[in-house]
Structure formats: structure tokens, C-alpha cells
Structure 1
Amino acid sequence: MFIGFILLVIGGEFIIRSSVALSLKLNLSKLVIGMTVVAFATSLPELIVSINAAINDSPSIAINNVIGSNIANIGLVLGLTCIIGNMYVEKSFYRIDWPIMFIFSIILYAIIARDNIIDQYDGIVLFSLLIIFIIFILRSSLKTYQQDSIDNNLIHSTNFKIILWLIIASLSLYYGAEWLVYGAINFAEQIGVSEAVISVSIVAIGTSIPELATSLLAIVKNEKGISLGNLIGSNIFNIGSVLGITSIIKPIVVDDTEILSRDIIWMLVFAVLVLLIAIFPKKNVIGKIKGFFLLFLYSIFILLAFA
């Protein structure tokens, strides 16, 4: 399972590098690259893991990988990032990013609560809503996801390098997801907990490592490209693309009752919490104290998950 983690990190890094390099060569704008290419690339680890889990009849891993990743993005990634340096909230967070993320979260809850299954029609709806969201963002140009953090030097990459990166990324993501899923299943059996618990915690953290590494590195380098909107956008993409595409390929049966009664509730709690800490007590700034609070709450979530 540990090797699976490492391969997913390697695959995530190379898929972003190759995708951005290819997009720059095609003269796509940074806005388009950030909102589409990079957003999809950073969600590929979650997507491959969820598809692999669904095909191997492990629906709990398929769904909780996304739920856990969305929780980790706010509790773990945002928490650690803000402990190292302040994160500033842009106006579009209140008008666009957060409302859209919360709507996607509520829709996911409603779909699962309806009949405990995310079928192909649900997947089409989720993915279609994501496409509408992307088109709206691109047309309005109110938000530029990760555009400042895109490495312009990648435009000088040779075609051979890009192809090599794509091959490395593809192999790493495929085998990383394969070993991570099987490792998670075996680990759950060994310690006597459900697949849902392992997937919402360990697997989710593993698939969130690329976002965590990118956010921490950006803060250390004092780059402004990583913002709260980027993490919120990642959560939107996880629901719309990962669960959308996975359920289109194979319907996801939610057979673990705790996913609806516990895990997704925590996801909604963190979704509401991120809005509150962005407003109170000091609006538009999330600093160390708020970061420690998020990390503390995330630790409680992990402890309760294994309790």
C-alpha cells in the first residue's frame, strides 16, 4: 500500500508537468490550463483509485476516497498551509467558489440518501454540472485557478520529454491505484475495520498528497498562485469529475451505512466551517490559529473514524 502511495505522488507530479507543458505548446491561456488541464490532472489519482475500486467491487473505497479527500483538502491541507503562512480569501470565494462547492456537496448527499446508489444518470448529471461550472468560470474570468503558479519554463520542454512524462505518469497512476486499493482492502481486513474507514482516512490522505505538497511548497516560496479557491475548486472537481466519471463507467452502490450517517456529514461540516473561518473573526484572512483549529478538528475526525 505504501508503494501505491509513492507511485500516486509520482504519477500526479508527472501528469501535471506533462499536461501543462503540452497545453503551453498549444498556446492555451493560463486560465484555461489552470481551470481544466491542471484541475483534471490533480484529480487523476482520486479518479483512478475510485474507478479501480468500483471495478473491483469495493464501492466504499470508490465513494469515501472522494469524501475523505474533500475533508482532507480543508482540514489537513488548508490547516497545515495556514499554519505555515496566511491564506487570503478572494471575493469570488463568497460569490462563486463556496456556493458551488456546497451545492455539489448537497447534491451528492441527496443522491446517496435517495437510494444508496450513484448510477449512470447521476454520474451524467454531476459531470454535466461540472462542465457548466467550468464554462461559467472561463467566460466570467472572475477566478484564475493556479495561473500564477504555472511554470512557464515547461513551454521549452521537448516532445520526447512530454511523451516520457506521460508514460511515467500513466504507469505510476495505474499501478499506484491498483496497489493502493488492494493494500487498503488487505489492511482493513488485518486490523478489523471497514473499507470505508480506511478509504476515508488513509487512502484519502494518499490521494491528497499532491495537493498538500503543492500548497506547502507555494507558501514556503511565497507564491500567490495557491489560494483557498484552488482547494475549493479541487473539491468541486472531485465530486463532479471523479464520482461523475466513475459512476458512468460503473454505478457505485453505497452499502456502508456510516458513509451517509457519518462521513458525508463530516464533509458538509467542513464545508460550512471553511466559510465561517473565512469570515470570523478577521474576514478574508485564514491564519495560524484557524489553521491549528482545522488540523485539530481533522485529527478528531480521524480518531472517531477508527473508534
Structure 2
Amino acid sequence: MEFLIFIIAMGALIWGADKIVEQSEKIALHLNISEFVIGATLVALGTSLPEMAASMAASANNHPEIAISNVIGSNILNITLVLAIIFLIVKELNPDRDFFAKDSIWALMPIMMFLLMAIDGIISRFDAALLLLLMIAYVMFLLKDAKGLGTEEVDELAREEFSWFSSITWILIGFILVVGGANFAVDSASGIARGFGVSEWVIGIIMISFGTSLPELVVSVSAAMKNKVEMAIGNIIGSNLANTSVVLGAAAMVKPMDFAMGSYIFDISTMVVATLMLVFIAANRLYSKPAGISLVIVLGLFLNNTLQSLA
């Protein structure tokens, strides 16, 4: 029964997030906001809604391990699974944007901040405020960087069919599904962990993080297949920053979270290594199948270590 509840809850969570992203894009296009800004802000934040809802619910219900492991697992999967799939299935990737020069610091900064904050064994509300400020700084950077890029042409039929009432209604429905789905997903996942005698950390870093990473997977792969490479890669960088800043920050703002950093060195190290690999790939423009395979190898090591902990 717990598994059924978990699957239904994750479905509601993902579908609700998809509706929020979809309608947010329509509103942005209606207001003539450029596609670059849409992808780097609205889509990245929107696809991180499941992680935020799940982690906030976990924190509120005294499951800090689920909240934090969800963030770490999602960051790992976004790079080693989502980005790897893009590299492996898209024939040619030649983004114009220099991700190394413009975005690598934003990929690394939240990870470094998280490591510093976790050393004392607690993610406090003060830490949370600093993480949320980081996301605000990133959005300000993107908006400034996007000046002069121009607004892409919007299909006139899409303009005519736009409805504020419809969009706002769907966004509200999406939020209800996201919040409700998150609470049921965390409760059922905790029950599954107890039933199988495994830690909540393992449930969070595998089951919940995989489920909440599905929006990034769908959005990024879809964007890459439509030759919107910058949106696809930018969504992953933006989503990982949103995970570590907004998701972790919101969860800690709900309730400060105790965190025994030394107990999860392998998972934290994997997140750091995956992020450094992303920066290295961007620096050398290695947007290719070999890069995808190297990321899959890291994913395999990560999954193997997690499965061994279940034995």
C-alpha cells in the first residue's frame, strides 16, 4: 500500500510541477520575456518545485535526512543521468553560450557554501537565508546577462489563445498537487524505509531524488531534441543551483536541520565530483558521447555504493 501511495504521490507531484512550468512559460511569452530568461529562471525553478516541496515536507515532519539526501541525490542525477542522456542521444551539441565563463561559478558556489555550512552539523535558518540570497543573486545575474539578447518571436496563435484565468487556475491546481503530493510522497517513503529496515537517507537519495529529477529529465531532453541546447544545459545548471539554494534553504527555513556530514562522505563527494566534471566539460566544450559515458560511469559507481549499503 505504501508503494502505491508513493507512486500516486510522485505522479501528482511531477504532473503538478509540469503544469506550473507550462503555464509559467505561457505567461512569460505573453509578456515578451526572452526564451533564454524563461529557460534559465522559470524552467529551472519550476523543475525544482518537486524537490522543494518534498524537502520542505520532510523537514516539517522531522525527516531531515530525506530533505538533504533529496537535494544531494537530485544534484547527482541531474548531471550524471540527465546531462549524460542529452550527450548520448543528441547527435551534435554546439551551444553558443560560454557556460564555463558565465555559469561555472554558479554551479560550484552553492556546493561550496553547503559544505561550509554542514561542517558544524546543522543547516540553520541563518544558513537558509544566505542560500536564498544566492538564488536571488543568480536571477539578477541572469536578467542582467540577458539584456540585449532580444526577444524570440512568439507564435501569434499562441498569443491569441492565451488566457490569464486559465493559466492562473492551472498554476493553482499545480501547486495544490505539488504540495499534497510531496507530503504523501515523504510519508510513504518513510514508511517504506521502516518496512524494509533501510535508512531514510537511502530512500531519499534514490527513490525521492529520482522521482523529483524527472521534470529536469523531461524538460532538458525535450529542449535538446528541439535544438534548444542552451536551455537544456542551462536548465541543469540552474536546477542544481536552485536545489542547493532554494530547496535546501526553504527546508531549513521551515525547521533547522541536523546533519552528520561525516556519515555521508561518499554521496557528498560524488556530488562534488559530478559538479567538477560539469565544469571541466563546459571549460573544454566536451559536449559529446564520450563525456556522456564518463558521467554514466560516475552514476554507476554512485548506484553501486548505494545498493551495497542495502545489503
Could you tell me which residue of structure 2 aligns to residue 272 of structure 1? Answer: 276
Among residues 187, 190, 200, which one is paired with 1:185 in the alignment?
190
Q: CA deviation at 1:142?
A: 7.9
| Number of positions where the alignment pairs a residue of Structure 1 with one of Structure 2 | 300
Which shows bigger deviation, 81-90 or 61-70? Answer: 81-90
Q: CA deviation at 1:152?
A: 7.9
CA distance in structure 1 between the partners assigned to 2:96 and 2:171 by the alignment: 34
CA distance in structure 2 between the partners assigned to 1:108 and 1:150 by the alignment: 39
Q: CA deviation at 1:116?
A: 1.2
What amino acid maps onto 1:94 in structure 2? F
**Is the aligned partner of 1:300 residue 2:301?**
yes
Q: CA deviation at 1:31?
A: 4.3
> Where does 1:235-254 land on structure 2 (aligned, <5 Å)?
235-254=240-259
What amino acid maps onto 1:178 in structure 2? N
What amino acid maps onto 1:107 in structure 2? M
- Could you list the per-position Cα deviations for residues 17-60 of structure 1 after superposition, in whole angstroms to 9, with x for gaps in the alignment? 12222333444444443333333222111111110000000001
CA distance in structure 1 between the partners assigned to 2:153 and 2:236 by the alignment: 14
**Is the aligned partner of 1:12 residue 2:17?**
yes
Could you tell me which residue of structure 2 aligns to residue 84 of structure 1? Answer: 89
Among residues 174, 191, 207, which one is paired with 1:202 in the alignment?
207
SS at match of 1:285: coil
> Where does 1:64-213 land on structure 2 (aligned, <5 Å)?
64-85=69-90, 86-88=92-94, 90-113=96-119, 115-141=120-146, 155=159, 156-213=161-218
Q: CA deviation at 1:202?
A: 1.5
Report the CA distance shift for 1:277/1:27 in structure 2 as closer, same or farther (over 3 A).
closer
CA contact (8 A) 2:93 2:229 kept: no
Q: CA deviation at 1:225?
A: 4.7
Report the CA distance shift for 1:204/1:91 in structure 2 as closer, same or farther (over 3 A).
same
CA contact (8 A) 1:60 1:199 kept: yes
Structure 2, unmatched stretches of 5+, are 1-5
Q: CA deviation at 1:139?
A: 1.3
TM-score by length of 2: 0.87
Which shows bigger deviation, 38-47 or 205-214? Answer: 38-47
What amino acid maps onto 2:267 in structure 1? D
CA contact (8 A) 1:196 1:256 kept: no
Structure 1, unmatched stretches of 5+, are none
CA contact (8 A) 1:42 1:211 kept: yes
Q: CA deviation at 1:276?
A: 2.8
User: Alignment RMSD, CA only?
Assistant: 2.5
SS at match of 2:229: coil
Identity, % of aligned positions: 33
What amino acid maps onto 1:122 in structure 2? D
CA distance in structure 2 between the partners assigned to 1:73 and 1:133 by the alignment: 19
Report the CA distance shift for 1:66/1:142 in structure 2 as closer, same or farther (over 3 A).
farther
Report the CA distance shift for 1:69/1:148 in structure 2 as closer, same or farther (over 3 A).
farther
CA distance in structure 2 between the partners assigned to 1:191 and 1:151 by the alignment: 52
